[in-house]
Amino acid sequence: MRPTHAPLIFSVLLSAGTPAAAQRFHDHDRACHAVHPTLPGVELAHACWPGENGLLTGRRIPVETLDPETVALREHLANRDLLRGSVPNRIDIVFVGDGYTASQQALFHSDVDNIVADLFQYEPFITYEPFFRIHRVEVISNESGVDNDPTQGILRDTALDMAFWCGGTERALCVSVSKALNHAGAGVSTDVDQVVAIANTTKYGGVGYPSSNVCTSSGRNSAATQIVIHELGHSLGNLADEYTYGGPTTYTGGELGPANVSIYSQAQQVSQERKWWRWMGVSNGLFDGPVGTYEGGYYSEQGVFRPSNNSMMRSLGRRFNLPSAEELIKEFYREVRPIEDATPTDADLAYNDTLFCAPVQPNGHDLNIQWEVNGQIVFSALDQTSLDLSTLGLDPNTEHTVRVTVVDNTPWVRDPVIRDLFLTETREWTVNACTHPGDFDGNEELNIFDILVFIEAYNQQDPAADFDANGLFNFFDVASFITAFNGPCTR
Ligand SMILES: [Zn+2]
């Protein structure tokens, strides 16, 4: 009964036979991904590694399919904010080590910490650092160091089979993808978005397997650790390589999928509102720029444009450019929802309750919060994490709709569609109308008919009229009814 009169009251892994491990991984297009057409079950990963002058280079390297062996997950969390926020609402990066013996695990720990520190020195990873969880998995190798280090032909018995000179290139540092994934717990934990395999070495090298969300790095070489950042550009941001090595001199195909490469010139982009047209001419000291269309990228020297002259997707040590940052932030928000926690939407709410809504918290800025009641913005509660309904003078007797909208208004996202689809989240609640005990006929109005119907029921000794519920019909039932009729609405 709802009386109306009175106030009431959340790579596709390597080819065929993809195990469950891969399902959790991002399934976006991979810039470097290719599957050999004649060898089912064998993937040729396009790995990116640092060349002689800092510019990146790449090659296709065959990698095995994931074997179903599951290694018991021994998950260690690095010294990050593990208690902040709800556990699933994060981007999970899992570090596994190779060539670290049982007595070298402390070294593994400190190598991970140093790489993580490097990662969070580049925007937008600085600002969105709280969106990440970093896991360490101690993997014990029988021997210290990895294969072909420092020179070819030196072989070691290690848990993940990491090796330099992969595919004949010294700086290409490979790993057994299946072993890396297994040790990372990709088959048994849903909290695996990116796996980083680090080698117990100072030698400069690294590669990435974008389709498996696995990359490698030297444990103790700051230049090589930046491969990790570059690979996160691929795996988290779906970003293309902006270097010009490895493909035809002139690209002649259609428009490219990744956000940071296009066949369209600046004038074409602007006039046709394509790709990074909103960013043309923009400079921001935190990102590579100014933004324009620079010819060369996606492995070709001509026929493809990139957003800035140089960037992290072209050479190590550079910053990302703004269009890449926008795409990264979009993908961050594919994993991390803006509302961290809130009053459950199925809560039984009354007109005088208090609702709460806690957004995720990037570094340096807050998300914006807007509350609406029955479609009207509650201006007094703008950017407040709670809304006390009792201060709003709501009619207790009617149902109300409360909605909260949380949005990240970062200036590093300009596309309103991206903001609406990914950086915004809403929740809506229904505040129930109060049930008045004096509404005896249940028509949601209090009037003489309730009294008349009560008297009739009393005379008939209808159990509904046993208002004090003691099995007797007497004056106290009448008194209880009159008190209730005159009293306030209860829940
Ligand atoms: Zn790359």
Average confidence (pLDDT) over 294-316: 95
Examine the fold and report which residue of 235, 270, 287 is the final residue of a domain before the chain moves on.
Answer: 235
Query: Separation of 49 CA from ligand 1 center, angstroms?
Result: 7
Both 300 and 363 in one domain: the answer is: no
pLDDT band at 491 (very low <50, low <70, confident <90, very high): low
Q: Is the pLDDT of residue 36 over 70?
A: no
In a domain, 264, yes or no: yes
Q: Is the pLDDT of residue 9 over 50?
A: no
Of the listed ranges 101-110, 167-176, 350-359, 407-416, the least confidently predicted one is 167-176
In a domain, 12, yes or no: no
Q: What is the mean pLDDT of the chain?
A: 83
Q: Is the pLDDT of residue 444 over 60?
A: yes
Both 133 and 71 in one domain: the answer is: yes
Query: Separation of 245 CA from ligand 1 center, angstroms?
Result: 11
Q: Is the pLDDT of residue 38 over 80?
A: no
Both 86 and 193 in one domain: the answer is: yes
Of the listed ranges 92-101, 140-149, 220-229, 473-482, the least confidently predicted one is 220-229
In a domain, 330, yes or no: no
Both 231 and 249 in one domain: the answer is: no
Q: Is the pLDDT of residue 452 over 70?
A: yes
Give the pLDDT of residue 305.
98
Give the pLDDT of residue 166.
87
Query: Separation of 68 CA from ligand 1 center, angstroms?
Result: 28
Q: Is the pLDDT of residue 171 over 70?
A: yes
Both 304 and 177 in one domain: the answer is: no
In a domain, 118, yes or no: yes
- State pLDDT tens for residues 355-366: 999 999 999 999
- State pLDDT tens for residues 227-245: 889 888 987 888 999 999 8
Give the pLDDT of residue 69.
37
Query: Separation of 321 CA from ligand 1 center, angstroms?
Result: 15
Give the pLDDT of residue 323.
98
Both 376 and 475 in one domain: the answer is: no
Query: Separation of 185 CA from ligand 1 center, angstroms?
Result: 25
CATH of the domain at 367: 2.60.40
Taking the C-alpha atoms of residue 356 and residue 491, their distance in angstroms, rounded to an integer, is 20
Query: Separation of 469 CA from ligand 1 center, angstroms?
Result: 75
Give the pLDDT of residue 172.
86
pLDDT band at 59 (very low <50, low <70, confident <90, very high): low
| Token reading at 251 | 């690209």
In a domain, 132, yes or no: yes
| Percent of the chain predicted with pLDDT > 70 | 83
Give the pLDDT of residue 341.
92
Q: Is the pLDDT of residue 412 over 50?
A: yes
Both 310 and 259 in one domain: the answer is: yes
| Percent of the chain predicted with pLDDT > 90 | 51
pLDDT band at 11 (very low <50, low <70, confident <90, very high): very low
Query: Separation of 47 CA from ligand 1 center, angstroms?
Result: 7
Examine the fold and report which residue of 195, 210, 235 is the final residue of a domain before the chain moves on.
Answer: 235
Both 264 and 226 in one domain: the answer is: no
Give the pLDDT of residue 256.
96
Q: Which residue range(s) make up the domain with 312?
A: 245-316
Query: Separation of 146 CA from ligand 1 center, angstroms?
Result: 23
Give the pLDDT of residue 188.
64
Query: Separation of 338 CA from ligand 1 center, angstroms?
Result: 29
Query: Separation of 71 CA from ligand 1 center, angstroms?
Result: 29
Query: Separation of 232 CA from ligand 1 center, angstroms?
Result: 9
Give the pLDDT of residue 189.
63
Average confidence (pLDDT) over 146-163: 95
pLDDT band at 198 (very low <50, low <70, confident <90, very high): very high
Give the pLDDT of residue 79.
35
pLDDT band at 87 (very low <50, low <70, confident <90, very high): low
Give the pLDDT of residue 294.
98
Query: Separation of 197 CA from ligand 1 center, angstroms?
Result: 16
Query: Separation of 286 CA from ligand 1 center, angstroms?
Result: 21
pLDDT band at 338 (very low <50, low <70, confident <90, very high): very high
Examine the fold and report which residue of 213, 235, 257 is the final residue of a domain before the chain moves on.
Answer: 235
In a domain, 54, yes or no: yes
Query: Separation of 345 CA from ligand 1 center, angstroms?
Result: 43
In a domain, 230, yes or no: yes
Give the pLDDT of residue 237.
85
Query: Separation of 221 CA from ligand 1 center, angstroms?
Result: 18
Both 134 and 278 in one domain: the answer is: no
Give the pLDDT of residue 248.
92
- State pLDDT tens for residues 109-151: 899 888 888 888 999 999 999 898 888 888 999 999 999 999 9
Q: Is the pLDDT of residue 5 over 80?
A: no
| Token reading at 448 | 């003489």
Query: Separation of 217 CA from ligand 1 center, angstroms?
Result: 13
Q: Is the pLDDT of residue 157 over 90?
A: yes
Both 128 and 193 in one domain: the answer is: yes
Query: Separation of 241 CA from ligand 1 center, angstroms?
Result: 5
Query: Separation of 208 CA from ligand 1 center, angstroms?
Result: 7
Both 154 and 104 in one domain: the answer is: yes
Question: How many domains does the chain fold into?
Answer: 4
In a domain, 3, yes or no: no
Give the pLDDT of residue 407.
98
Give the pLDDT of residue 419.
98
Both 230 and 252 in one domain: the answer is: no
Give the pLDDT of residue 66.
42
Query: Separation of 260 CA from ligand 1 center, angstroms?
Result: 12
pLDDT band at 82 (very low <50, low <70, confident <90, very high): very low
Of the listed ranges 75-79, 225-229, 245-249, the least confidently predicted one is 75-79
Query: Separation of 210 CA from ligand 1 center, angstroms?
Result: 8
